[in-house]
């Protein structure tokens, strides 16, 4: 019996099936005894704490740039006083979560992909399996959970810093007190802006961790596959973030704004 090289569609089905199996094993291993709390905290440290400076600067510059860019246009309409509201809504609803998730996809997903890929290539994962340790529970569950928990926190921090950046930017050309700026920013915000955004980032975090782990864990046994795993982890995670965002917008507009 000759096994033919599967065509593109079949390969896609196989890949999807593999991912579903991988996700199933992830969920099973969350609730399995012997949860690696220590490793989870260490991964959270790596994913969350180590990304603070990157995400913080990104968030601050987001608010800063958005304010400076929109001010001349808003001035034409005599609506400069709406700039804080506009920045707050756009950053918290959409730009903050997506940009931070993409940044983290670049930093975290590639790191996880490369790390797990190299462990796979150097047969460390096989060794763990042989020695009786559970590599999924130790390597995958902790990383995915760490991403799922840390990305929302990073996004919230970036949102706050974006508002701060907006405040600094609006004080370049005009002068506005801190209290006034924050009052204006929050006056137009509703819970329907904040909650869907936070829930969305949880899924973004999961996507980053999951794609990174999957790509690394399933890399081929070749040196170049490490780089490939890292690369495809970033690409896939970014794509997933964009797709999830589109779904989230639809769900939000159906449930939150009506």
Residue ranges binding another protein (CB under 8 A): 38-39, 41-42, 44-45, 48-49, 52, 77, 79, 82, 92, 149, 152-154, 156-157, 159-160, 182, 186-187, 189-191, 193-194, 198
> Smallest distance, Å, CB 187 to another protein?
5
Residue 38 or 175 having the CB closest to another protein: 38
> How would you classify residue 188: left for phi > 0, otherwise alpha for psi between -120 and 50, otherwise beta?
alpha
Residue 162 or 234 having the CB closest to another protein: 162
Residue 13 or 45 having the CB closest to another protein: 45
Burial 24-51 (b: 16+ CB within 10 A, else e): ebbeebeeeeebbeebbeebbebbbeeb
Residue 154 or 230 having the CB closest to another protein: 154
> Smallest distance, Å, CB 139 to another protein?
11
Residue 60 or 225 having the CB closest to another protein: 60
> Smallest distance, Å, CB 140 to another protein?
15
Question: CA-to-CA distance for 158 and 22, rounded, in angstroms?
Answer: 31
> Smallest distance, Å, CB 240 to another protein?
22
The crossing angle, in degrees rounded to 10, of helices 191-217 and 142-173 is 130
Residues 6+ apart with CB under 8 A from 102: 238, 241
Residue 121 or 157 having the CB closest to another protein: 157
How deeply is 5 buried, as exposed, middle or buried, from its count of CB atoms within 10 A (0-12, 13-18, 19+)?
exposed
3-class SS at 219? Answer: coil
Q: How far is CA 253 from CA 88, 250, 258, in A?
A: 18, 5, 7
> Smallest distance, Å, CB 168 to another protein?
18
The answer to whether the beta carbons of residues 59 and 100 sit under 8 Å apart is: yes
Residue 193 or 245 having the CB closest to another protein: 193
> Smallest distance, Å, CB 183 to another protein?
8
> Smallest distance, Å, CB 246 to another protein?
24
Q: What is the DSSP string of 175-207?
A: ---HHHHHHHHHHT--HHHHHHHHHHHHHHHHH
């Amino acid at each position: 019996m000759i096994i033919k090289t599967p065509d593109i569609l079949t390969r896609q089905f196989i890949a999807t099936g593999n991912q579903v199996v991988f996700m199933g094993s992830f969920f099973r291993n969350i609730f399995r005894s012997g949860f690696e709390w220590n490793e989870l905290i260490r991964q959270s440290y790596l994913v969350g704490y180590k990304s603070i400076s990157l995400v913080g600067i990104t968030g601050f510059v987001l608010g800063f740039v958005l304010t400076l860019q929109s001010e001349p246009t808003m001035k034409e309409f005599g609506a400069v006083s709406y700039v804080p509201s506009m920045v707050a809504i756009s950053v918290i609803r959409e730009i903050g979560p997506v940009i931070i998730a993409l940044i983290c996809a670049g930093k975290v997903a590639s790191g996880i992909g490369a790390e797990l890929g190299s462990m796979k290539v150097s047969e460390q994962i096989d060794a763990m399996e042989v020695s009786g340790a559970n590599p999924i529970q130790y390597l995958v569950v902790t990383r995915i959970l760490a991403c799922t928990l840390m990305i929302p926190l990073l996004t919230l921090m970036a949102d706050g810093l974006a508002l701060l950046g907006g405040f600094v930017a609006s004080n370049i050309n005009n002068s506005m007190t801190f209290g006034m700026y924050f009052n204006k920013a929050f006056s137009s915000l509703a819970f329907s802006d904040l909650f869907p955004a936070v829930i969305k980032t949880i899924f973004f975090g999961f996507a980053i961790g999951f794609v990174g782990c999957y790509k690394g864990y399933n890399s081929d046994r070749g040196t170049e596959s490490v780089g490939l795993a890292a690369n495809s982890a970033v690409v896939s995670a970014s794509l997933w973030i964009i797709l999830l965002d589109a779904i989230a917008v639809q769900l939000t507009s159906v449930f939150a704004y009506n």
